[in-house]
Chains A and B, each alone.
Chain A
Amino acid sequence: MFENIFMGFEHVLTWYNMAMIFAGTALGILVGALPGLSSPMAMIVLLPLTYSFSGLPALLMMMGAYVGTKLGGSYSAILLRTPGTPAAACTVLDGHPMVLQGKAAQALGYATVGSALGGLMGWLAASLCIPVIAGIAVKSGPADIALIGLAGLVMVSSFVRGSMLKGLIGMLLGLLLSTVGLDPQDTTPRMTFGMEELFGGIDFSAALVGFFGIAVVLSDLHRIEEGATRIREKVGLALPPVRELCRRWRAIAIGAFYGLFVGAVPGVGAEGSTWLAYATVRKNSKNPESFGTGNPDGILAPESSNNAVTGGTMLPMLTLGLPGDGSTAIMLGALLLHGMTPGITLIKESPEMVYGLLAGLGVAHVFMFLLGTLAIRPYIALLQNDRAWIFPFVLIMAMVGCFAGTNNPFPVLLAVLFGILGHLMELRDFPIPTVVLGVILGPIIEVNLRLALSLSNDDWWVFADTWPRKIILALILYIISKEIFLELKRMRLQSQNNPTVTP
């Protein structure tokens, strides 16, 4: 088990790879600090840069950005009362009151330490679990891979924000888009409309840039009106004393625990875990009434949880190829763009990538702590910038990311169209990550489904002939039936409460 982890560090601890992680983390903190720019956007911005690098350094840079945005989000949450990322919303509750009490430096210190410790705990737990899960996963056959992919899609559709119906619509749209191009078995063109550019299928970069880059900018344009907020006083960072941290270890541990477990469920992301951690710490506190007025535990718990999620999301991503949130969906897309198949195939063919990324996660947290401690002033100066100056640059970098992969404007055109579609869907609360996930997992599911049927002479019982397969099938059916029941219940309640309903 440990030799794999050491192998990962061996690949990561080179000057070049460390520089990549450092640069990604620095950019991640900056993007996270800017309200309206989230973690997926940081990774979309990095996409064009990664074409010049080989697989591991490119993914390590993205890993740094992923980790960095988690801390950056807390800066604007604490100082401006505007969370930089959705997951940092909980930090506002106790972070901003501390600023009003003149303890901004201490609040930022608690956020930095909480994020670093939570992230390292999540990384440690992931490092211990991944070799075990990977050991089981490598024994899977095509039927297992197809079922796991399907279960992941259903879970993501169910757990993302909004109704499951909309989640399933997004997922099916993604799956449908994934079938565009030549059939993998007999090369019949499917839905290409006579366009040669579509013979190779929908370009992953077009889907990623369109749905996560352009659509998000279009949906956040109303935030330009909010303008830039100025912080009048000079803000630094004051790290909490070790004794104080030891006294508050429960908040950090509870946060890390929730972050790890919630992050490991595909599609849930950090938002849910931060609120869960906050509520648990508050409930178990001797002074629950002090929460919301500047209690440091109210910063430590959500920040620890927010960063521990990064360890949790690595479990399904590196072992099964299922993303825990939007950012890991982009990482999976980047793996595909670099010619690697995420999931079990990756463990079998490129274990150095799996364990290298895991080691990179730990290193990124160390860099995040150092950057957060030593370079907080420039970040605070930058987070006061107006979004009107930033969005145009994000759009250009996103489009370059799409163009540079093929040197053909067609994927860029597709990305713009996907951006418009994604924006319209976002306006009506259709969860966008499900679409991208469908595009990424669609080919994996199709190839393995057909391979499993071929190997079993078209016997559909192959998908239920072992206990793990039966359990996965039961899980899929349980989630769908539970969501249908809840949806019907919600509709009945809504129609009862709404006098203007016209049945």
Chain B
Amino acid sequence: MRDLAKELVVTGLLATIAATCLASMHATERPVLSFQYSSGLSFSTLPNLYGGLLLLLCLINAGKAVWLHKTSAPAPVKEKKAAFRAVATIFLLFLFVSLLGKMPFAALCAVFLCLLFFAYGKRKPLQIACIGLGGAAVLHLIFVTALGLRL
């Protein structure tokens, strides 16, 4: 993907967040039984100000990127590998979150660690299993046994 396109995608994402927040504030009605406002600022003043300015600055940033854009070479293989690893990490993070509290912590950690080691290029099964299981046991000992966190 070109440099300009990447810049526009990220700026567009931030602008979308700002626009969604502004739309949400617009849809929020002031409760009938609310306090009398003692100051000139209502509940929506600052979110609207921040959201509006964020949207405006995103547009300026996009305009600036278009103004200064230059063609860039395709992503090198190393960058593609890092992108794959980032996607794999994000997928595993979501998996971890969805299973947190539903599965024993030590088992979840062991699975997560082993899969991430594999995604990060480690290929020796015995080494992966040893460090994954050992690491999960240590994490369980620290957080659950020693610190008493309810995980």
A residues adjacent to B (C-beta < 8 A): 48-49, 51-52, 165-166, 168-169, 172-173, 175-176, 179, 183, 185-186, 188-191, 193, 214, 217-218, 221-222, 224-225, 388-389, 391-393, 395-397, 399-400, 403-404, 407, 409, 412-413, 416, 419-421, 423-425, 427-428, 430, 446, 449-451, 453-454, 458, 460, 491, 494-495, 498, 500-503
Contact = CB atoms under 8 A, between A and B. Distances in A.
Given A392-B120, A424-B9, 9 more contacts: A176-B50, A185-B39, A186-B37, A191-B21, A224-B82, A224-B120, A389-B122, A495-B68, A501-B70
Contacts of A186: 30-31, 34-35, 37, 43
A64 B97 CA distance: 30
Contacts of A48: 143, 147, 149
Contacts, number: 201
Given A169-B14, A221-B85, A388 B112 contact: no
B93 A165 contact: no
A185 B14 CA distance: 28
A117 B76 CA distance: 44
B120 A419 contact: no
B107 to A, nearest CB: 13
Contact of B54 (A173, A400, A425, A501): A173
A409 B97 contact: yes
10 contacts: A49-B147, A176-B17, A183-B43, A186-B30, A397-B139, A403-B100, A419-B90, A491-B64, A498-B70, A501-B69
Contacts of A224: 82, 85, 120-121
A201 to B, nearest CB: 12
A117 B31 CA distance: 59
Interface string B64-106: 1011111100000011011001100110011011101100000
Contacts of B147: 48-49, 51-52
Closest 6 CB pairs of A and B: A183-B43, A222-B82, A388-B120, A392-B116, A453-B39, A172-B54
Interface string B37-70: 1111101101100110110011011001011111
Nearest to B17: A173
A36 to B, nearest CB: 12
B121 A427 contact: no
A412 B97 contact: yes
Contact of B60 (A165, A189, A404, A502): A165
- B contacts with A: majority SS: helix
A428 B6 contact: yes
A189 B25 CA distance: 9
Contacts of B47: 176, 179, 190-191
Nearest to A428: B10
Given A400-B143, A425-B10, A450 B58 contact: no
B90 A420 contact: yes
B10 A416 contact: no
- A contacts with B: majority SS: helix
Contacts of A396: 96, 109, 112-113, 139
B120 A188 contact: no
Contacts of A409: 97-98, 100-101
A172 B120 contact: no
Interface in B1-42: 6-7, 9-11, 13-14, 17-18, 21, 24-25, 28, 30-31, 34-35, 37-41
A397 B31 CA distance: 41
B133 to A, nearest CB: 13
A403 B120 CA distance: 25
Given A389-B117, A501-B68, A502-B69, A399 B54 contact: no
B40 A430 contact: no
A462 to B, nearest CB: 11
Nearest to B113: A392
B135 to A, nearest CB: 6
Contact of A169 (B51, B58, B67, B122): B58
A249 B28 CA distance: 63
Contacts of B40: 453, 458, 460
Given A393-B113, A396-B109, A399-B96, A500 B41 contact: no
A498 B97 CA distance: 46
Contacts of A393: 113, 135, 139
Contacts of A389: 117, 122, 131
A401 B21 CA distance: 27
Contacts of A450: 39, 41
Contact of B97 (A190, A399, A420): A399
Contacts of B125: none
A172 B57 contact: yes
A217 B81 contact: no
A388 B67 contact: no
Nearest to A408: B101
Contact of B21 (A176, A430, A460): A176
Contact of B86 (A166, A168, A423): A423
A404 B61 contact: no
Contacts of A188: 28, 30-31, 34, 43-44
Contacts of A400: 139, 143, 149, 151
A49 B144 CA distance: 11
